[in-house]
Structures are given as structure tokens and as C-alpha cells.
Structure 1
Amino acid sequence: MNNLIFVALGGSIGAVFRYLISIFMIQVFGSSFPFGTLMVNVIGSFLMGVIYALGEASQVSPEIKALVGVGLLGALTTFSTFSNETLLLMQQGAWLKAFTNIALNLCLCLFMVYLGQQLVFSRI
């Protein structure tokens, strides 16, 4: 039951961060490409790699895993928004933007998980 509280707390923080990052990215880059979703997914992927690696090294408590790994990162990152925005680009005929969005989300997020893990594993 305690972990549920940590998940809820992390989720509320992650949701606020997601909103603020998305608004910031729209202000900087405009709304013609879903940079906000890309950014939260990239940041979240890096942090997931860090949390995973710390957990593997037994340096993160179950409560922190629940707070950050499930709650915060679960609310921060979003596959459903990525999917919807990509489909909207396709429906608008913006095929290059749609496939760029797919490629960037996939490649950058996988790389960031790897980078986060390597950062931690190299220091342990």
C-alpha cells in the first residue's frame, strides 16, 4: 500500500512536468511538430535507464522505484500521445514529419535508456 502512495505522488509530479515541458516546447518551436512529446519521451527514457541501472545495482529502494520509475516517468512519458500526434500528421498528409517523429522517438528513446544505464554502470 505504501508504494501506491509513492506512485500517486510521482504521477502527479510527472504530469505537471509533462505539461510544463510541452508548453515550453510549443513556445520555442511552435506546434507544427510534436516536439513536446518527443522531449518528454527522451528525458523519461534517459531517467528510466538511470533508475533501472541503479535498481540493478541495489542502490534504489522499492519506494524510489515506485515514485520515479512508475509514477513520475509513467506520467511524464506518453506513448498514447505520441501515437495520436503521429496519426494526425499522417492524416494531414505530413508523411515526412510523421515518419521523422516515429524515427526520432524510437531511436532517441532507446539511445537515452542505454545512455542512462551506461552512466550509472560506469560509476558503480
Structure 2
Amino acid sequence: MTQLFAIAAGGAAGAVFRFWVSNGIYGLFGRGFPFGTLVVNVAGSLLMGFLYIMLLERMTVAPEMRAALLVGFLGAFTTFSTFSIETLNLIEQADFLKAGLNIVFSVTACLLACWFGVLLGRQL
């Protein structure tokens, strides 16, 4: 039961942090392209790769802490559902170039960021 509370607390923090980060990015670059979601997903992927290695291979932490960070915080921080609806909206607006770029950049950048996080975690 404590693990569920840890996930819930991490999820609440991740959701609030996602709101702050994505709105900050949109404030800088506008909403013409889903940069806020892209930045959140890439940063979340980097953190997932890094924290996965650190929390499972490099450090001894309680299962509740791992669950709070990996499942709760990062699960709420990353926004694949938002990515999906924003991309679908671009497709429905017949803005196929932006939709395609968002798909390619998001998937490629997130996978590379996660891999970089894993490499970074393994170096420590």
C-alpha cells in the first residue's frame, strides 16, 4: 500500500512539473508547434534512462522510491497522450509536415535521450 501512495505522490509532482515546464516552453516559443510536449517527452526520456540505471543498478533505494520516481513522477511528467492528441490535431488540420516532424522528432529524440540517460547512468 505504501508503494501506491508513493506512486500517487510522485505522479502529482510529475504532473505539476510537466505543467510548469511545458507552459514555460510554450511561453518562449509559442504554440505553433508542440514544443512544450516535445521538450517534456525528451527530458522525461533522458531522466527515465538515467534514473533507471541509477536506481536499479547503482544505488540501493527503497522500492517505494523507485516507484515514486519511475512510475509516478516520470509517468505523469511525460505526455505521450498529449503528444498523440496534438499530432492528431495537426493531421486533422491537414498540417502533415508538422505532424510528421512531431512524430519523427519525438520518437527519435526520446529514444536517443533515453539511451543517453542509460549511458550516463552507467558511467557513474
TM-score by length of 2: 0.94
In structure 2, what is the equivalent of residue 51 of structure 1?
A: 51
Asked if 2 retains the 8 angstrom alpha-carbon contact of 1:55 and 1:61, the reply is no
User: What is the CA–CA distance in structure 2 between the aligned matches of 1:3 and 1:51, rounded to whole Å?
Assistant: 18
Unaligned runs of 5+ in 2: none
Question: Residue 64 of structure 2 aligns to which amino acid in structure 1?
Answer: E
Matches within 5 A, 1:1-124: 1-57=1-57, 59=59, 60-123=61-124
SS in 2 for 1:32: coil
User: What is the CA–CA distance in structure 1 between the aligned matches of 2:84 and 2:104, rounded to whole Å?
Assistant: 12
SS in 1 for 2:53: helix
User: What is the CA–CA distance in structure 2 between the aligned matches of 1:98 and 1:104, rounded to whole Å?
Assistant: 10
Q: Alpha carbons of 1:102 and 1:31: their partners in 2 closer, same or farther (altered >3 Å)?
A: same
Unaligned runs of 5+ in 1: none
Higher mean alpha-carbon deviation, 47-56 vs 75-84, is at 47-56
Count of residues in correspondence between the two structures: 123
User: What is the CA–CA distance in structure 1 between the aligned matches of 2:37 and 2:84, rounded to whole Å?
Assistant: 10
Question: Residue 92 of structure 1 aligns to which amino acid in structure 2?
Answer: Q
TM-score by length of 1: 0.94
